Amino acid sequence: MTSTSSRTPTLGAVVLTMGDRPTELRALLDSVAAQEGDPATVVVLGQGVSLPTLPDGVARVELPENLGIPGGRNAGVQWLRENGGVDIVVVLDDDGLLPHKDTFRLVREAFTDNPHLGVAGFRIADETGASQRRHVPRLGGKNPLVSGPVTTFLGGGHAIRMRVIDEVGDFPARFFYAHEETDFAWRALDAGWDIDYRADMVLQHPRTAASRHAVYYRNTGRNRVWLAKRHLPAVLVPAYLAAWAAYTIAQRPPLSGLTAWWAGFLEGVRTPCPPRRPMRWRTVWRMTRLGRPPVI
């Protein structure tokens, strides 16, 4: 890695939509347009759907099918590359909102001040300003108002240095949904990049349950196995999977959810998801020092 130049980094924003939230999407795009500083290049991608009318200056891409969250993001990043390129990619949920006008300025400053910063994860907060426990990327969901280095980031709102994507590769498209951020984060950490959770970069988002998605339980079980098989040293794979199986059972999901989870888990065991590139032991130790060893 080399240091960044002194010029102001350029931003591109990627928004995926299933076409079912036109009001929320418009509010998000208005909040993006209201950001301080140079305007970002914004592209909205319809996941196998027709897009509604978008504000002037917002690019539109109607994908022929739903590529899933990681595949859709990859398509957005590729569009940015092919249309002039940017230094930083900001990914935002289509039902989110940037409540503060300085968020993109904070993003630019963060990546300029720390040339080793690879990813900045936003704080996800509901309309009251509260963050759900699952939206804080620390064990136990601790201290949502405290920024600091972490080992993963939230998909709903984050910023990635384009050079990191160029170096470690795209999001894993085969995951479709669930744990694609952790897969990317582990690769970025192993390449020596920093990941910061930034409590001052806020994405307002309705309070929801992850299990609202029909594929939640099955994909969560499958992708946990794929994640371990792709990136963990062999000796840590059974420990990681045993820990997550115990955690899932302890959460007492509905019987239908638990059945789907185990079906996904077994699918992950049976099927490969290459490439396998185990992280270095110094990355394991780095994650441990950051408070989240890759067995929890």
Span 70-126, pLDDT tens digits: 999 999 999 999 999 999 999 999 999 999 999 999 999 999 999 999 999 999 999
pTM, full prediction: 0.95
In a domain, 17, yes or no: yes
In a domain, 203, yes or no: yes
Q: Comparing C-alpha atoms, which of 114, 97, 101 is closest to residue 148?
A: 114
pLDDT exceeds cutoff 60 at 279: yes
In a domain, 188, yes or no: yes
pLDDT exceeds cutoff 70 at 1: no
In a domain, 181, yes or no: yes
Q: Is the bond leading into 293 cis (omega within 30 degrees of zero)?
A: no
Question: Count of domains in the chain?
Answer: 2
Domain at 174, CATH number: 3.90.550.10
Q: Is the bond leading into 275 cis (omega within 30 degrees of zero)?
A: yes
Statement to judge: residues 119 and 250 lie in one domain: no
In a domain, 30, yes or no: yes
In a domain, 3, yes or no: no
pLDDT exceeds cutoff 80 at 6: no
Among candidate residues 153, 183, 208, the one where a domain is terminated = 208
Helix (H, G, I), strand (E, B) or coil at 247: helix
- pLDDT-derived band at 141 (thresholds 50, 70, 90) equals confident
Per-residue pLDDT tens for 174-200?
Answer: 999 999 999 999 999 999 999 999 999
Determine what percent of the chain is predicted with pLDDT higher than 70.
96
Statement to judge: residues 49 and 127 lie in one domain: yes
Residue type, 166: D
Statement to judge: residues 173 and 228 lie in one domain: no
In a domain, 6, yes or no: no
Q: Residue 230's domain spans which residues?
A: 212-289
Choose the weakest-confidence range: 16-20, 52-56, 211-215, 234-238: 211-215
